[in-house]
Structure 1
Amino acid sequence: MKSAAPTLRFERSFLDSGHRFLAGCDEVGRGALAGPVSVGLVMIDLSAVTGLRGVRDSKLLSPADRIKLVPRIQKWALAYGVGHATAAEIDDVGLMRALQLAGNRAWEQVVVTARPDAVILDGNHDWLSPREQATLFDADNLKTGALDGVALDADALDAEIFTGCDVPVHTRIKADLQCLSVAAASVLAKVERDAMMVAYAADHPQYGWEINKGYATAGHRAAIDGLGATALHRTTWRLGTGDRITMPRVEIGG
């Protein structure tokens, strides 16, 4: 698919505010029925960064082209990270909170090298910034959670949710198409998540995850109808072909 190449134009506008280290952030796996939601974070040094040819939003690239770009992006970036939140965590704390968990896990990988001054986040909703305070409901959900069959560490999740990225987060619609750092983050997240789904497919070959990567294809839904859900499915979602009105409909997304 042809598209204009993303640039550093928007990123460089942050120099006027005195920002030097800027991170682009994007998620993949939001609309899948199985597997994690994954968040990529790519930090650049605005005082030194140059362009990077070939990078596009991950959805516009072939799998082979995405894989080839990974080492180039890693060399180009000042720092990078990819964080994941599992299907069990999505069921436990909801999709937005799971995105926050995954984003904070990517954040922790980046700040080992340097701390971003600000983040550009694809979309129009800031799910990355920490919540101001927990509620009793949040705490109960965390304490009763499970991570792919293993009890979740509520204290650890509390720390991830209510700390982490605490710099300004600037949302921008279509940032993955326009901003080079965000497009690069989407590629890293997509390649890493796809590899996880291919690995999971070896133990669950009937669901076609090596092809559909956990998304809601007709074949995937039919397999769930016939075989049931696995521990890697988001069991609070509508999974099969039947209209289970007690379960939320799948969000469409990357």
Structure 2
Amino acid sequence: MPDLDHERQFNGPVIGIDEAGRGPWAGPVTVTAIWLCPTAYDELPADIDDSKKIKPPRRTSLAAVMMAPPHLHHTISIDVAQIDQNGILQATFAGMVIAASRLTEKLVKAGLSAPVHALVDGNLLPPDMPLPATALIKGDSRSLSIAAASIIAKTARDEIMQTLDALHPGYGWANNMGYGTKAHQAGIRQFGVTPYHRRSFKPIRRYLDAGDD
């Protein structure tokens, strides 16, 4: 289970950053940066964990708790156009930089100190990160702040995919969230590629090259 050991290594506000949606064939990549208020640590739910380990209804309720004061967060979704133009890694990095910058602004506006460090899930950091940062492999299972960010990002992106599913029924996005499931593949074969598909991803390019669009 994630804990606060990494956060407590620093003197000052520490933020956690994670993304949701790097692998799907469709939809945005969503990034959340969050600051968990130290005076409310003891009030945090005990089951905060890697979002993939938590069932959707519980994820939604946990996200609501962590999005409420005294905690602060910023969530941003990077759209398919930017993913296709810059690649999924650079799009994710851009989201991390923006989320960290906007959260810093929110902390300062609230009369708090700017964050002194960011804990980022994964093994890579954006080269233009606006503050010192540490990449933590499997960070959403090690750092409570990263786990919190993973839950909020996943919840926000799932809501986007459910909205897109209503606009483009037939791909199963409300269930598969844009991942390349059999239902999603069947939808592409039947209905073609939508503006929300990532044309830079090899599976989608194969469909386009085959003339299925």
1:180 paired to 2:144: yes
* 1:20 aligned to which of 9, 12, 19: 12
Q: Please name the residue that 1:125 is paired with.
A: 124
Letter in 1 for 2:54: L
Q: Please name the residue that 2:68 is paired with.
A: 75
Matched residue SS, 1:222: helix
In 1: Cα distance, 2:70 partner to 2:93 partner: 22
1:227 paired to 2:200: no
Residue 76 of structure 1 deviates from its aligned partner by 6.0
Provide structure 2 residue ranges, at least 5 long, that are not aligned to the other structure.
108-113
1:168 paired to 2:160: no
Residue 241 of structure 1 deviates from its aligned partner by 10
Cα root mean square deviation, aligned: 2.1
Q: Please name the residue that 1:11 is paired with.
A: 7
Q: Please name the residue that 1:102 is paired with.
A: 95
Q: Contact 2:165/2:173 (CA < 8 Å) preserved in 1?
A: yes
| Cα deviation 1:8-49 (Å, max 9, x = unaligned) | 1121122xxxx3110011111000000001111111355x35
Residue 104 of structure 1 deviates from its aligned partner by 2.6
Residue 204 of structure 1 deviates from its aligned partner by 0.2
- Where is the helix percentage greater, Structure 1 or Structure 2? 2
What does residue range 84-95 of structure 1 map to in structure 2 within 5 Å? Answer: 84-95=77-88
In 1: Cα distance, 2:25 partner to 2:62 partner: 27
Q: Contact 1:55/1:69 (CA < 8 Å) preserved in 2?
A: yes
Consecutive aligned runs of 4 or more in structure 1 exceeding 6 Å deviation: none
In 2: Cα distance, 1:77 partner to 1:37 partner: 26
Matched residue SS, 1:92: helix
In the superposition, relative to structure 1, how do residues 91 and 77 fare at CA in structure 2: closer, same or farther (>3 Å)?
A: farther
Provide structure 1 residue ranges, at least 5 long, that are not aligned to the other structure.
131-164, 246-254
Letter in 2 for 1:118: H
Letter in 2 for 1:50: Y
In the superposition, relative to structure 1, how do residues 111 and 218 fare at CA in structure 2: closer, same or farther (>3 Å)?
A: same
In 2: Cα distance, 1:233 partner to 1:43 partner: 32
In 2: Cα distance, 1:88 partner to 1:221 partner: 21
Q: Please name the residue that 1:195 is paired with.
A: 159
Q: Please name the residue that 1:112 is paired with.
A: 105
Letter in 2 for 1:40: T
Q: Contact 2:87/2:200 (CA < 8 Å) preserved in 1?
A: no
Q: Contact 1:221/1:240 (CA < 8 Å) preserved in 2?
A: no
In the superposition, relative to structure 1, how do residues 171 and 77 fare at CA in structure 2: closer, same or farther (>3 Å)?
A: farther
TM-score by length of 1: 0.73
Residue 222 of structure 1 deviates from its aligned partner by 2.3
Aligned length: 201
In 2: Cα distance, 1:214 partner to 1:237 partner: 12
In 1: Cα distance, 2:18 partner to 2:70 partner: 15
Matched residue SS, 1:39: strand
In 2: Cα distance, 1:190 partner to 1:228 partner: 26
Q: Please name the residue that 1:204 is paired with.
A: 168
Q: Contact 1:8/1:179 (CA < 8 Å) preserved in 2?
A: yes
Q: Contact 2:82/2:91 (CA < 8 Å) preserved in 1?
A: yes
Letter in 1 for 2:165: A
